[in-house]
Amino acid sequence: MGEQRDYLLEIKGLEVCYVTEDGVARAVNGLDLAIRKGESLGLVGETGAGKTTSCLSIMQLVPDPPGVITGGEILFRGENLIYATAKRMEAIRGKSISMIFQDPMTALNPVMTVGRQLEEVVMVHDKLSRSAAKARVVEALEVVGVKGDRYDDYPHQFSGGMKQRVVITMALLCRPELLIADEPTTALDVTIQAQVLEIIGKLQAETGTGLLLVTHDLGVVRETCRNVAIMYAGRVVESGTVEEVFGGARHPYTQGLFQSIPRMKKGGGKLTPIEGLPPNPRRLPAGCAFHPRCKFAQPRCCAEAPVMQGVGHRCACWNIGGVD
C-alpha cells in the first residue's frame, strides 16, 4: 500500500462493535482505507454497511457505550487516533479533520444561535477575535446560500436543507486537512448540491484537503471523486479508481449496484435489483457475507471469507468477474 508517510489517512483492519442486550453487532469488520493529501475517496454501500460508524471512528465519536473499537489502526499523518487523548482529539476535530454529519437536525445545539456556534469554531481553532470570527462566518454562510441576517437565528428556525448548509459551513470554516462528508447533500436541492460540491472541490484545489465522501449516489461519486471503495457488511469488497470500478466492476455486489441504477436512455430496460437484504450485523453469515444474495456463490464462498486481490483495482471475491 506504499509507505505510511505517503498517506494523510490510513485505516488498517478497523473493527467496531456495538454491545447491546440483544447481542454484539459487528458494524465494521476489518476495514482498510487510505487517502493521500488532495485525494478524494467515495465510500459507497447500502444502509447498514458500516459507513457512518467508520467515519465516527476516525473522529473518535463512536458512542461509548454501546460502541467500542476492538481492533485495527486509524493513522492520521502517522498518528494512531485510537490512542489519542480527549484533549488531543479536541484540537484535531474541526481544525485538522472536519466532518459533515449525516443528520443536521442533531448536529446543532438547539439553545445556541447558529452564528454563535459557527463563531465558536473559528475562535477556538484560529484564535480570531469575535468581530473577525463573525465576519468570516457571515461570508461562509452566504457562500452556501444562507443570508447573513440569519446569523442570530436558532436551529429550529431553519428548514432541514438550511440546517444542512449550516453544518457544511461549520465543517469548512477552518479549511481542514481531511474532510469527512457523510451524505452531505441529501437534504439539498440539485442546484445547491452542485454548488456545495463545487465549494468542496475548490477547497481541495486550494489547500490539498483530502476528502472521504460517503454517499449512496454513484453519480456524485463519479463527478467528485478520484477513487471509490465499495463497502458491504463492514468491510471493503472492491476498490480502485472511479474509471476502473465504474468501467469494469468485478464484485457481484458492485455489479448489482450498477444494475439497480435507472437508465435515462430510451429502451433502458427493467432494473435488476439485488435480491435479499443486507445481513444482520449480530448474525453475520460465515464465509463471504454477500454469499446469501449472490447468484455466483460456490461452496467455498459459504465457508471462507475472501481476501482482497489485485493491484490498484482490488476485489474480495473467490469468483472475480461475476456477471459477464
pLDDT exceeding 90 applies to what percent of the chain?
Answer: 68
Report whether 235 contacts 31 (CB < 8 A): yes
d(Cα 114, Cα 112) in Å, to the nearest integer?
A: 6
Tell me the pLDDT of the chain averaged across its residues. 90
Report whether 130 contacts 123 (CB < 8 A): yes
Mean pLDDT, rounded, for 215-228? 91
Q: What is the CATH number of domain 1-84+215-262+270-324?
A: 3.40.50.300
pLDDT of 3 > 80? The answer is no
pLDDT of 321 > 70? The answer is no
Give the model confidence (pLDDT) of 245-287 as tens digits: 999 999 999 999 998 887 766 566 677 889 899 999 999 999 9
Give the model confidence (pLDDT) of 91-145 as tens digits: 999 999 999 988 887 889 999 999 999 999 999 999 899 999 999 999 999 988 8
Residue 153 corresponds to which cell in the numbers above? 437565528
Look at residue 4 in the predicted model and tell me its pLDDT: 46
Mean pLDDT, rounded, for 181-186? 85
Which residue type does 105 have?
M
Q: What is the 3-state secondary structure (H, E, C) of the chain?
A: CCCHHHCCEEEEEEEEEEEECCEEEEEEEEEEEEECCCCEEEEECCCCCCHHHHHHHHCCCCCCCCEEEEEEEEEECCEEHHHCCHHHHHHHECCCEEEECCCHHHHCCCCCCHHHHHHHHHHHHHCCCHHHHHHHHHHHHHHCCCCHHHCCCCHHHCCHHHHHHHHHHHHHCCCCCEEEEECCCCCCCHHHHHHHHHHHHHHHHHHCCEEEEEECCHHHHHHHCCEEEEEECCEEEEEEEHHHHHHCCCCHHHHHHHHCCCCCCCCCCCCCCCCCCCCCCCCCCCCCCCHHHCCCCCHHHHHCCCCCECCCCEECCCCCCCCC
d(Cα 294, Cα 205) in Å, to the nearest integer?
A: 40
**Contact partners, residue 126, CB within 8 Å, separation at least 6:** 133, 174
Look at residue 265 in the predicted model and tell me its pLDDT: 67
Q: How confident is the model at residue 187 (pLDDT cuts 50, 70, 90)?
A: low
Give the model confidence (pLDDT) of 151-178 as tens digits: 999 999 998 888 888 998 999 898 899 9
Give the model confidence (pLDDT) of 25-74 as tens digits: 999 999 999 999 999 999 999 999 999 999 999 999 999 899 999 999 99
Q: How confident is the model at residue 237 (pLDDT cuts 50, 70, 90)?
A: very high
**Contact partners, residue 316, CB within 8 Å, separation at least 6:** 235, 236, 237, 238, 251, 288, 305, 306, 307, 308, 309
Q: How confident is the model at residue 203 (pLDDT cuts 50, 70, 90)?
A: confident
Report whether 307 contacts 286 (CB < 8 A): no
